[in-house]
Amino acid sequence: MASEVTAAADSSDAPEISREEVQRRLHDSSLTIVDVLPEASYVEAHIPGAINIPLEQLRTRARELLPDHAADIAVYCGQFT
């Protein structure tokens, strides 16, 4: 189970955001939450409001599905409960 959510999917220098911070910001429109697990895992359970972009599709679909470049983006790949 992941204890932290990485704020950027493709950088070892990406800042991290705690689970508690994500929970506090669930209804904050300036935070976009991206679940990079396979669609079946997303359907089974995901953070409310999260967008599913499976990891293998992230590079090709991120621009299409994440149009607000000013938003903070939290990417996670593990169970959040």
pTM: 0.74
Q: Does residue 46 form part of some domain?
A: yes
Question: Rounded to the nearest 5 degrees, what angle is found at the Cα of 32, between the Cα atoms of 31 and 36?
Answer: 140
- Grade residue 7 by pLDDT with cuts at 50, 70 and 90: very low
Q: In the chain, how many domains are there?
A: 1
Q: Does residue 44 form part of some domain?
A: yes
- Grade residue 77 by pLDDT with cuts at 50, 70 and 90: confident
pLDDT digits (tens, 9 = 90+) for 10-37: 455 678 888 899 999 999 988 999 999 9
- What local confidence, expressed as pLDDT, does residue 38 receive? 94
Q: Does residue 10 form part of some domain?
A: yes
CATH code of the domain covering residue 54: 3.40.250.10
Q: Domain range holding 19? A: 4-76
Q: Does residue 81 form part of some domain?
A: no
- Grade residue 50 by pLDDT with cuts at 50, 70 and 90: very high
How far apart are alpha carbons 50 and 32 in whole angstroms?
7
